[in-house]
């Protein structure tokens, strides 16, 4: 017998002892209750990168309603005669900036399929949106829950093999725990962060603009950035006039911070045939942007903010 380990001490200290009530596995959903729940639809897959990640616009708004409400909101400041409605105004002024409070009246919702729990932990940080997520507490995730694997793992086949083994071991633990009568809410502790699931994002048009500007940045984690780009593409497809307003924060800036900052072969499509950078970088993270963001103005010398205390340089 080898030396005692910390986990041996932990198990020994709890053997035969009364546990505090708060740590008990309370009578919540578990296999033996036999509720006949449907099987988790996503089983046995290792999705690589963005494979299988899909977004759907499931709640939309009326363009006529938006135009009417924005027109009233713009005119409201100076008063509206109920017997003589004001002349039509440039209702898109509400989309261009200012308080934009009228945009809170218009709710949209996106169904997101196949996002990892790692990704959904990030997306739910949007304070003013609502979420409805596939539950690991009330729902059995199946005998072999599917997972998402970053493409970076493909750089080393040993890492790929290890992740495959880890997914198999996680699923085996989950099956064993639930078969032993442990509730789903406790058995989920053995599931990977990469386990895929469904989530519904619901929020106002105003909140979507604000969150897209932040989360669609190419410097953010690839999964959440890709999800917001899909959301933005769907919304613009349904309402083409929104193309001017669904923008990353850097795309809303004007000109480079350094007037001498030129870029050979700059894409005229981005609005600058002369070669001077059209925008500046607004990313506020620790990472260096050059060589990691595909946008031509992503340069260290062209950043609006860079932390002096935490920096992660590109290797």
Tokens of 165: 């083994």
175, 188, 215, 299: the active-site residue: 215
pLDDT at 264: 46
Q: Using alpha carbons only, what angle is made at residue 132 by residues 130 and 134, rounded to the nearest 5 degrees? A: 155
Q: Would you say 88 and 71 are in contact if contact means Cβ atoms under 8 Å apart?
A: yes
The pLDDT of residue 292: 92
pLDDT in tens, 84-138: 776 767 888 899 988 899 999 999 999 999 999 999 999 998 889 999 999 999 8
pLDDT of residue 19: 54
Which ranges in the chain are annotated with CATH 3.30.1360.170? 27-79+99-247
Pairwise CA distance, residues 50 & 59, whole Å: 24
CATH of domain 27-79+99-247: 3.30.1360.170
pLDDT at residue 89, as a whole number: 78
Looking at residue 275, its pLDDT comes to 57
What does the chain come to in residues? 315
- Is residue 215 annotated as a catalytic residue, yes or no? yes
Please report the pLDDT score of residue 31 as a whole number.
Answer: 87
Q: How buried is 131 (Cβ within 10 angstroms: 0-12 exposed, 13-18 middle, 19+ buried)?
A: middle
- pLDDT score for 271: 47
pLDDT computed for residue 240 by the predictor:
97
CA distance 28 to 294: 48
Query: Are the C-beta atoms of residues 142 and 172 closer than 8 Å to each other?
Result: no
Q: pLDDT below 50 — which residues of the chain?
A: 261-273
Q: Identify the pLDDT of residue 77.
A: 80
pLDDT tens profile 220-232: 999 999 999 999 9
């Amino acid at each position: 017998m080898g030396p005692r380990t910390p986990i041996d001490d932990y198990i020994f200290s709890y053997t035969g002892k009364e546990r505090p009530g708060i740590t008990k596995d309370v009578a919540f959903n578990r296999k033996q209750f036999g509720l006949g729940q449907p099987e988790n639809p996503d089983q046995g897959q290792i999705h690589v990168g963005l494979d299988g990640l899909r977004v759907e616009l499931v709640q939309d708004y009326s363009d006529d309603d938006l135009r009417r409400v924005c027109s009233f909101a713009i005119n409201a400041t100076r008063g509206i005669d109920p017997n003589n409605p004001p002349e039509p105004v440039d209702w898109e002024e509400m989309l261009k900036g200012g308080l934009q409070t009228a945009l809170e009246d218009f709710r949209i919702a996106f169904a997101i399929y196949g996002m990892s729990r790692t990704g959904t932990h990030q997306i739910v940080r949007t304070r003013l949106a609502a979420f409805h997520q596939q539950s690991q507490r009330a729902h059995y995730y199946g005998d072999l829950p599917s997972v998402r694997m970053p493409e970076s793992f493909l750089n080393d086949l040993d890492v790929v093999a290890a992740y495959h083994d880890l997914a198999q071991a996680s699923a085996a633990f989950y099956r064993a725990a639930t078969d032993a009568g442990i509730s789903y809410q406790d058995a989920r502790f053995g599931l990977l962060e990469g386990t895929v699931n469904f989530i519904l994002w619901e929020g106002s048009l105003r909140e979507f603009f604000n969150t897209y500007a932040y989360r669609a940045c190419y410097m953010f984690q690839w999964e959440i950035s890709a999800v917001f780009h899909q959301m933005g593409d769907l919304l613009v497809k349904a309402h083409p006039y929104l193309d001017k307003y669904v923008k990353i924060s850097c795309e809303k800036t004007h000109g480079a911070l350094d007037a001498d900052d030129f870029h050979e072969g700059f894409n005229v499509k981005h609005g600058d045939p002369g070669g001077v950078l059209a925008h500046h970088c607004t990313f506020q993270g620790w990472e260096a942007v050059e060589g990691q963001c595909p946008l031509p103005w992503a340069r260290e010398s062209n950043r609006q903010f860079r932390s002096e205390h935490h920096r992660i340089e590109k290797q």
